[in-house]
Structure 1
Amino acid sequence: MAAPGVDIPRWCDTSFRRYCAHGGGTAAASALVSAQAALVWSKHRDWTAAQVLRVLEDTALRRWPVDTPSKYLGYGAARARQVVVLGRGRPGPPTRTPRRHTSTPCPRPPAAPPPPRRRRRAPRPPRPALSAIPVCH
């Protein structure tokens, strides 16, 4: 899901009297999407988290099919108004998990090296950096 993340107004001081025009990023965008999910859930309290996510994906603003998420915008821009005010979206069954893009399989981890011989203590291989570990869904 996507939401605005550039030039989001935010408080500039601890007295909450002045806004700054520059701010945002992924923290602002994720807060906006989670707030929209909370709005949908407050309107439909009997829905599961999977159903809330599914209707947000179904009603998101996009110009591509819902089953092929964008590399940059995922399933599209979240639009809670479509669900809360206009009653759009298909929640589906409560036990079914939301769709996930799986056309690119996750790489297999490298094979473990053979165990070192007992004669001499082998140095431990370096641990991979966090950025080198793929995130797969």
Structure 2
Amino acid sequence: MTASAKTKQPDISLAVCGYSKVIEIISNKWTALVIYAIENGSIRYGEIERRIAGISKKMLTQTLRKLERDGIVQRHITPSVPPMVEYSLTLLGQTLLRPMRELRQWGRDNYMHVEAARMQYDFTYNKDSMD
């Protein structure tokens, strides 16, 4: 029996759970896509924007700033007219690539099962509400 079962106290907390802290960093739907766009090296803002379907300039800017603040992405400014700005993953950001690639592969291998489960669930529970 676990300590939490004996004391009836929660043993999982958003405040201290390392997993939840990581999810906080990458949970925005655009974050993973931005990291994937940058995973092969330095890339200019406009190229990131072209690579990610549906992302607005505002959302891309916000995502890049958040990742820069978290130490995942670094911005390089080359003085020129106009200034050339490139983004790349930091060493810390590069350590995220392996688990994120594994998640991406999990999605490729298993998302069809998630969709099938959803369809089965909806069929089962929507059928009951139609009676």
TM-score scaled to structure 1, two decimals?
0.20
Higher helix content, 1 or 2: 2
Higher strand content, 1 or 2: 2
The structure whose RCO (Cα within 8 Å, separation 6+) is larger is 1
Greater Rg over alpha carbons, structure = 1
